[in-house]
Amino acid sequence: MLLASSTVYAATPAETSEDDAAVMVEQQIDSKTDKPPSWVDSRYDQITERGDKLATWVDGFFNQTRSVEDTASTLIRIRPQYEWDEDNGSDWKLRATGRLELPSISDRLSLIFIGEDGDFDQEFYEPGLVEDGSSTVGVQYRVSEEEHSRIDLIAGLKAGPKGKLGTKYRYQLPLGKRNRFRFSEELYWIGGDGFGTLTRVDLDRSFGNDTLIRWANKARYSQESNGVEWSTLVAWIRRLNEKSAINIAASIRGETDPRYLKSRGFSASYRREFLRRWLFWEVQPRYEWRKDNPGENRNGVFSIDLRLEIVLGEREFN
């Protein structure tokens, strides 16, 4: 009896200890889940929504440079490009964009480089470090991140060379299963040019699993600009399969000082992965009605771009 009794009493503390340990594990799990999600986690949760997932795929597949800034890992894109324009003739360009993580220094710090590109309207989605087409290299420091927003500090060196300092706020929100709203505001200073601001507002809506309508707007004002320089674009984007897609867009752009419409036009592009998962080719014809100065006549101009692109790093558009 004594032995049995002691066995019973010996087992009770052990069971209690196991129960306490289980409770402690549950409390630790609960405490972790109570933490606010990071920018990367929230982006992952958001792209599970059908509309935002398609919009994110479009950004990555069509090489919108903002996807380089927002990516959660190292990503480098190299693009040789041939351009032909009725007014300006032909030209070859080699452009590289990328984001390199610097974990040995800080998890919040990354190196960003963006190569020289075209005019304000030609690369409509150019973010962050580029607002006038010149090449830039710089560092980006993530100041804060919330479920739907993020704030970064940017320090870089532009072609010239000219120093650049700035801060950028981004807000992204899925609206139901088929819509996504995106807003960003950047305040910057460029040596020799002064201060400026760049505002972007995008609205995406998906139709089914493979079609996206995008309305994208941006406005820039600086001490060097002609009043407010603005652009607006509406694009119909269709994913044909996981290796190819088409993008048909109409856009206009203008200035407020003096107030006039600089150009309006249409473009179409076809992009396809080939041979390797990291290799793409793209063709983009474009027709625009341009007016470089208020007193000039508007001219219709045809142009076409042929691109080859190498993507190194983790793709976010699988």
One-character DSSP codes across 102-155: -TTT-TTEEEEEE-----TTTSTT--TT-SSS--EEEEEEEEEE-SSEEEEEEE
Per-residue confidence (pLDDT) for residue 265, from 0 to 100: 94
Per-residue confidence (pLDDT) for residue 127, from 0 to 100: 32
Per-residue confidence (pLDDT) for residue 12, from 0 to 100: 46
- Whichever domain contains 42, its CATH number is 2.40.160.40
The answer to the question of residue 69 being in a domain is: yes
Per-residue confidence (pLDDT) for residue 107, from 0 to 100: 76
Q: Is 228 exposed, middle or buried (0-12, 13-18, 19+ CB in 10 A)?
A: middle
Per-residue confidence (pLDDT) for residue 64, from 0 to 100: 57
**Residue range(s) defining the domain that contains residue 283:** 36-313
The answer to the question of residue 20 being in a domain is: no
Q: Average the pLDDT over 30-34 and give the result.
A: 48
Length of the chain: 318
| 60 confidence band (pLDDT: 50, 70, 90) | low
Q: What is the pTM of this model?
A: 0.70
Q: How far apart are CA 71 and CA 262, in angstroms?
A: 33
The answer to the question of residue 254 being in a domain is: yes
Q: How far apart are CA 33 and CA 316, in angstroms?
A: 25
pLDDT higher than threshold 70 for residue 317: no
Per-residue confidence (pLDDT) for residue 32, from 0 to 100: 46
pLDDT higher than threshold 60 for residue 108: yes
The answer to the question of residue 263 being in a domain is: yes
Most confident of 72-76, 77-81, 158-162, 217-221: 217-221
Per-residue confidence (pLDDT) for residue 62, from 0 to 100: 65
Q: Average the pLDDT over 184-194 and give the result.
A: 89
Q: Average the pLDDT over 29-46 and give the result.
A: 51
| 129 confidence band (pLDDT: 50, 70, 90) | very low
pLDDT higher than threshold 90 for residue 304: yes
The answer to the question of residue 93 being in a domain is: yes
pLDDT, tens digit (0-9, with 9 covering 90-100), for 230-267? 999 999 999 999 899 999 999 999 998 878 888 999 99
Per-residue confidence (pLDDT) for residue 8, from 0 to 100: 41
The answer to the question of residue 237 being in a domain is: yes
Q: How far apart are CA 70 and CA 79, in angstroms?
A: 19
pLDDT higher than threshold 90 for residue 105: no
Per-residue confidence (pLDDT) for residue 7, from 0 to 100: 42
The answer to the question of residue 243 being in a domain is: yes
Per-residue confidence (pLDDT) for residue 312, from 0 to 100: 82
Q: Under a CB-based contact definition with an 8 Å cutoff, are residues 67 and 76 in contact?
A: no
E strands, the chain, are 75-85, 89-101, 109-114, 136-145, 149-158, 162-175, 179-190, 194-207, 211-222, 228-241, 244-256, 259-273, 279-290, 299-313
| 99 confidence band (pLDDT: 50, 70, 90) | confident
The answer to the question of residue 11 being in a domain is: no
Nearest to 214 by CA among 40, 45, 43, 66: 66
Count of domains for the chain:
1
Angle, CA of 97, 99 and 102, to the nearest 5°: 150
